[in-house]
Amino acid sequence: MTALTAAFLLMTGCLSTALSQNSSRTADGFDLPVAPPAATGYYKSRGFRAGGHLGEDWVTDGGSSKGFGKPVYAIGNGVVVLARDIHVAWGNVVIVRHAWIENRSLNFADSLYAHLDRISVREGQQVTRGQQIGTIGNNHGMYPPHLHFEIHKDLSIGVNHAQGTRDLRSYWLPTEFIMARRHLGGGARNVPTPAANFLLPTVDHPWFFQRFGSKKKKGSASHHSSHQKSHSSHSSHSGNSNSFKVNRYSQP
């Protein structure tokens, strides 16, 4: 561990656990997860809403059905900490853990890509900005095809929204986060990265969760019900303002 890395870890309170964790390359910037860098030909059908929809839903300009099977890309350099079918309201999910240097400190966040038709990466794999990680899906027919995309400040969330505060203390506004960090200094440095330790639903008991990571213990938590409910009502809301249009789904 270099002196610079140790200094960054001390600033962020991560030094005590760094030695036992994975490493990844720091991000040199971030792009949007579809048609990078600027999501040309896509729009957000729904945006972030604190306490409700905790991410963004991306579909193609031609309608959500046109997007099925289209590629999904990592927004930045990082390591894949989850890549599997979670079932329930999530389906195929990929989570990439990112490290980046900003204001002379080392920062971490997770980007989540859900409802995928196919997963193209494996857990523990290093990925780079713009690398394909999967394709847009519909959670095994549960939703109209779209990418559900989140960025977590709280690294314990994973697919369990009950782990976070359901507001901007635990989440980033995805598009704003990316647009504010299109280009970053200090990219491509290998740094210790916190290992994943998520609560996941089991296949046999989707309403209960087991610990993903080095520790395997059961707990209880709510699953992704708010996301499922909001899709069934096809509501449209954006908690952020930017140049991307936000429309309601055109399909049931």
Residue 3 CA to its chain's centroid (Å): 30
Q: What does the pLDDT average to over 168-191?
A: 97
59-76 residue pLDDT tens: 998 777 889 999 999 999
- Bridge-based pairing state of the strands 92-102 and 105-116: antiparallel
Taken in order of first residue, the domains within the chain and their CATH numbers are 22-233 (2.70.70.10)
Helix (H/G/I), strand (E/B), else coil: 152: strand
Burial code (b: 16+ CB inside 10 Å, e: under 16) for 77-87 equals bbbbbbbbebb
pLDDT tier, 12 (very low <50, low <70, confident <90, very high otherwise): very low
Higher pLDDT, 217 or 153: 153
What's the first-to-final CA gap in the chain, in angstroms?
Answer: 53
Rounded Cα gap, residues 34 and 74, in angstroms:
9
* Mean model confidence pLDDT for the chain: 80
Cis peptide before 201 (omega within 30 of 0): no
Residue 118 CB-half CA count within 13 A? 9
